[in-house]
């Protein structure tokens, strides 16, 4: 009996020792360290751009103003390029222009724009050049035509010569030559004499209208210088004329007198 009790006590002691050893060998779980707080993201850049006047005439100037935050670089285009974060500049655009400010930083970029409208004055049209006396002469002075074998001033010739007289009175610096012409019929000698009478008739009419006679010369070409060479009455009528050309002038431009 004594041996059995000793054996039980030993058995119980051994079991207790095993339990203690097993408890000591159990690993205790280790808690991981807390994560650090998340860093705040970089601030987004901001930019402002405005102009003192949005409408100007070509040649005028305006003030351009800008301001940026949270930016490491700022540019204003066109013209200015990289600028400080805040500033102003006087600009004189030659044409309508949109200006843009761009701010760039760790947090990204931002833009702002403003527009300047430039009114361009219409180019003044050059004043028309004054006509030359030759141009006025060609426009205002007309030939006087005659009937067959006549040197009388007929109604249509009177009207043409009156207009010529008006021109010559307005521009007394102009001298003229009156050429007498005939159609192809008749002898050369007869037509030269007829051409003289026609030139003289035209000169007498102009003198009667107040044109000084010393400004007028006469010459006859008879049938030697025809204006038209067809052998019919329509063509002959064009050749029976007193023709005017300028004989000289004291000025090459109209004086307006």
Write the pLDDT tens digit of every residue in 76-134. Answer: 998 888 989 898 999 899 889 999 989 898 988 899 999 999 998 887 778 888 889 89
Residue 104 has a pLDDT of 92
What confidence tier does 251 reach under pLDDT thresholds 50, 70, 90?
very low
Residue 94 DSSP SS3: coil
The pLDDT value given to residue 79: 82
**Mean pLDDT in the chain?**
85
Mean pLDDT over 59-88 rounds to: 89
Please report which confidence band the pLDDT of residue 58 belongs to, taking 50, 70 and 90 as the band edges. Answer: confident
pLDDT score for 167: 95
**The predicted structure's pLDDT at residue 99:** 92
pTM for this one?
0.52
User: Could you give the CA distance from residue 178 to residue 93 in angstroms, rounded to a whole number?
Assistant: 63
| pLDDT beyond 90 at 30 | no
Instruction: Report whether 91 contacts 64 (CB < 8 A).
Output: yes
Q: What per-residue confidence (pLDDT) applies to 255?
A: 42
CA distance 151 to 145: 9
Indicate the pLDDT class of residue 3, thresholds 50, 70 and 90.
very low
Residue 77 CB coordination number (10 Å): 14
HEC string of 6-55?
HHHHHHHHHHHHHHHHHHHHCCCCCCCCCCCCCCCCCCCCEEEEEECCCE
**Order of strands, sheet of 46-51, starting from the edge strand that comes earlier in the sequence:** 46-51, 62-69, 86-91
Reference 116, options 104, 131, 98, 129; nearest CA is: 98
Q: What percent of the chain has pLDDT over 70?
A: 84
Residue 121 has what pLDDT?
A: 84
Q: Which residue has the higher pLDDT, 57 or 18?
A: 57
pLDDT at 11 over 60: no
At residue 124, the pLDDT reads 75
């Amino acid at each position: 009996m004594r041996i059995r009790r000793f054996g039980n006590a030993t058995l119980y002691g051994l079991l207790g020792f095993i339990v203690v050893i097993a408890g000591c060998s159990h690993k205790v779980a280790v808690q991981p360290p807390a994560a650090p707080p998340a860093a705040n993201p970089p601030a987004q850049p901001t930019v402002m751009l405005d102009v003192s006047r949005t409408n100007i005439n070509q040649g005028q100037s305006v003030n351009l103003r800008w301001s940026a935050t949270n930016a490491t670089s700022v540019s204003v285009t066109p013209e200015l390029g990289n600028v400080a974060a805040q500033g102003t500049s006087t600009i004189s655009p030659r044409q309508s222009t949109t200006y843009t400010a761009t701010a760039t930083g760790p947090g990204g970029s931002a833009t702002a724009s403003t527009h300047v409208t430039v009114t361009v004055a219409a180019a003044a049209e050059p004043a028309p050049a004054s006509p030359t006396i030759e141009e006025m002469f060609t426009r205002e002075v007309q030939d006087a035509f005659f009937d067959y074998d006549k040197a009388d001033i007929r109604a249509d010739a009177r009207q043409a010569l009156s207009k010529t007289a008006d021109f010559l009175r307005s521009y007394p610096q102009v001298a003229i030559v009156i050429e007498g012409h005939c159609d192809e019929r008749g002898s050369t000698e007869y037509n030269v004499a007829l051409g003289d009478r026609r030139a003289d008739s035209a000169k007498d009419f102009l003198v009667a209208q107040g044109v000084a006679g010393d400004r007028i010369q006469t010459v006859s070409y008879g049938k030697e210088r025809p204006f038209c060479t067809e052998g019919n009455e329509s063509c002959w009528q064009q050749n029976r004329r007193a023709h005017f050309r300028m004989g000289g002038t004291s000025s090459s431009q109209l004086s307006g007198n």
